[in-house]
A = this chain, B = another copy of it.
């Protein structure tokens, strides 16, 4: 791939598994609320509450957990018992304390790419959560910088690249979210390498067909070196 000097990686569900843990909790959450509302309504109400709370809470496990509790009380019209709420609190704490599960081949790919590219990690969310995960990953030393931002959009990326004196056209962004990782870098005339994860957070879903010569899609992170080396990827 021509002109690319910098590879900026998303972290959650790109370098390591995250969303599956959130979805497991939401599945258990629906079971707890089974007697009050059908699964689909529970999920829809939770998604609405989570979106309404994002401005106050930001992204991250603590806000996620508080939104679950708020939804549970409202859906059950105050009938949910304290032990169920306790279980929700503990699921949140366990999630914060969970071991980190790296994507297959991730560390090897990063080590290989580090020889030829400047590597950045750009992740969104609660700073403490994200810093803890970066530390657990053992990957920090492979990156020139690791940045935790509140929102991944055109303005955030512009400011961040400017801060490092980086021309966005020399950047390939790698991530699992079209909305947060891919569309902004394409708008900045960089390259977007989309590696879908098998589940996507509801607030990251975009319905869009991307037709852009700087857009690429891969099955998994292990295919990245070949793509960058210009080997045809099917």
Contact = CB atoms under 8 A, between A and B. Distances in A.
Contacts of A72: 82
Task: Give the oligomeric copy count.
Answer: 2
Interface stretch (A40-48, A54-62, A158-166): A54-62
A206 to B, nearest CB: 23
A20 interface: no
Interface in A63-90: 63, 65-66, 69-70, 72-74, 76, 78-83, 85-86, 89
Contact of A66 (B65, B76, B80, B82): B65
Given A56-B93, A57-B62, A58-B128, A82 B73 contact: yes
Contacts of A227: none
Given A126-B126, A128-B150, A150-B128, A78 B73 contact: no
A138 to B, nearest CB: 19
Interface string A26-54: 00000000000000000000000000010
A188 interface: no
Interface residues of A, number: 34
Contacts of A128: 57-58, 126-127, 150
A96 interface: yes
A224 to B, nearest CB: 30
Given A57-B96, A62-B57, A78 B89 contact: no
Given A56-B97, A93-B56, A86 B62 contact: no
A92 interface: yes
Nearest to A54: B128
Interface of A: 53, 56-58, 60, 62-63, 65-66, 69-70, 72-74, 76, 78-83, 85-86, 89, 92-93, 96-97, 126-128, 131, 148, 150
